[in-house]
Amino acid sequence: MSIPSSETVSAEWLTEQLHGAGFTDTNVIDFSAKQIGTGQIGKCVRYELQHSNPNTQAPKTLVGKFPSDDPLSQATGVALRNYSCEVNFYQSLAGQVDIPIPKCYYAEIVGDGPEFALLLEDLSPAQQGNQLEGCSISVAEAAVNALIGLQAPSWCLSSLKEQAWLLPPKDSPADALRTMYQETMPAFLDRFGSKLTADQARIIGQVADSPNCPLFQPLFGAEPAPFCLEHVDYRLDNLMINNSGPTPIVTALDWQSVKLGRPLNDVAYFLGAGLLPEHRRAAEEGIVRGYHQRLQQAGIDDFDWSSCWQAYRRATFSGFAVTVVASVLVQQTERGDHMFLTMAQRHSQHALDLGAAEFLA
């Protein structure tokens, strides 16, 4: 059967995927579908299943992910390889990492998309994080600590360099990201600039012209540096949070930008946008110290605290590209504008607070 769209998913197709996962004691005889989430590139649908065997242990609900209905967002998903990266992650790497992720029942794509589909575990009663509201310190600690399960298994793993989809396209200019940032920044500032402080707008502009901005430096340069799998868009909207236990449990979604990158990028990206600035200032060093201790406990013993904190400060720029470039290249919505503005304010203030402008000189 060809890859289904959100409109062509059938009871027979759902049954086939469940049988493939070992649930052969039941068939899906009917289902309902409801769009969920606030994705900019993809569209998610929750399926509530009616089983022929009411006593089956097969899941009663599943979540399908498909390309956005918006042509601009689809084109962006193809151009940035978002669709193919996510499918490749579930096909090739999901079983090699320990970070909590949803179980995947189906992952297929045609080329780089936009035709693709994922069928994933429904993580209810966990709730999607809210980028606009921010999160508690305990959720931030749980989210950062969960990254150990992504990073430690992939830390400086040379075999990952053989996975072309984790690296920049060979035909892409070395400064392609810088060019995209420079080309989209005028439209970004035209839309959001008046709602930024002068210092916030200034540092966002400085990044475009800086010859040394860490955001645009090659991963494998003359100086060896640690690398690992990087989620890239590790923020609250892409996490499911379960607060039913003594400590929060977070599960990471939206692996559509995963690549080889710098370990502290995901840490700084999350803390910079996920915590309200006043909460971040009070808690971030303690959270990063805890992260560093857990890295050491996981066997990463050649990365000292001084190097970790310096890398964290440099990584405060990691959210600038997603904020500036994506805000212009995906479908414009009221919530999307609010989200991108919030991210711009928080990421730029994060860099300012930690004196990261010194890395732009």
> Where are the domains positioned within the chain?
11-121, 129-360
Tell me the CATH number of domain 11-121, given options 3.40.50.620, 3.40.190.10, 3.30.200.20, 3.20.20.210.
3.30.200.20
Q: Whose CA is closest to 91, among 305, 203, 260, 258?
A: 258
For residue 118 the two structure tokens come to 């994922």
Please give the CATH topology (third level) of the domain spanning 129-360: Aminoglycoside 3'-phosphotransferase; Chain: A, domain 2 (3.90.1200)
Choose among 44, 63, 122, 109: nearest CA to 82.
109
Which phi and psi (to 5°) does residue 228 adopt?
-165, 180
129-360 shares the fold of 11-121: no
Token output for 253 = 């979604």
The residue whose two tokens read 């035709």 is: 115
Element (H, E) at 176: helix 176-192
* Residues 80, 256, 313, 148, Cα dihedral to 10°: -150
Q: Are 119 and 3 in contact (CB under 8 A)?
A: no
What is the pLDDT tens value at each position of the chain, 361 positions in all? 589 999 999 999 999 999 999 999 999 999 999 998 766 788 999 999 999 999 999 999 999 999 999 998 899 899 889 999 999 999 999 999 999 999 999 999 999 999 999 999 999 889 999 999 999 999 999 999 999 999 999 999 999 999 999 998 776 766 888 999 999 999 999 999 999 999 999 999 999 989 899 999 989 876 778 999 999 999 999 999 999 888 999 999 999 999 999 999 999 999 999 999 999 999 999 999 999 999 999 999 999 999 999 999 999 999 999 899 989 887 788 888 999 999 999 999 999 999 999 999 8
**CA-angle at 102, arms to 101 and 104, nearest 5°:** 120
Closest of 190, 222, 216 to residue 320, by C-alpha? 216
Question: In the chain, helix, strand, coil percent, each to 5?
Answer: 50, 15, 35
Question: Within 10 Å of residue 172's Cβ, how many Cβ atoms?
Answer: 11
